Amino acid sequence: MIRPSIDVLVTKADSKYSLVVATAKRARSIVEGAPIMVTTDSTKPVTCALFEIAAGKITYERTKTGIK
């Protein structure tokens, strides 16, 4: 089973594409040394980013030039 569930993640974003961009940006910041805000068994940055988004710790703002 995939954790966190895609059903939960889609409710946190307005589209799957926004979810992917927000996850990628957060994963890059984790790789650069940002602290992980949730407890998870995984050490992979993308998985940690997805868990943070599912927990509501990470939000995004859609602008004309992209996602912040």
Continuous H helices in 1-68: 6-11, 16-31, 45-55
CATH code of residue 32:
3.90.940.10
Q: Is 62 in a helix, a strand, or coil?
A: strand
pLDDT of residue 2: 64
pTM for this predicted structure: 0.85
Q: Tell me whether residue 1 is in a domain.
A: no
Q: How many domains does the chain have?
A: 1
pLDDT of residue 66: 72
Domain span holding position 41: 6-67
Express each pLDDT in 11-58 by its tens digit: 888 888 889 999 999 999 999 999 999 998 888 999 999 999 999 998
pLDDT of residue 36: 94
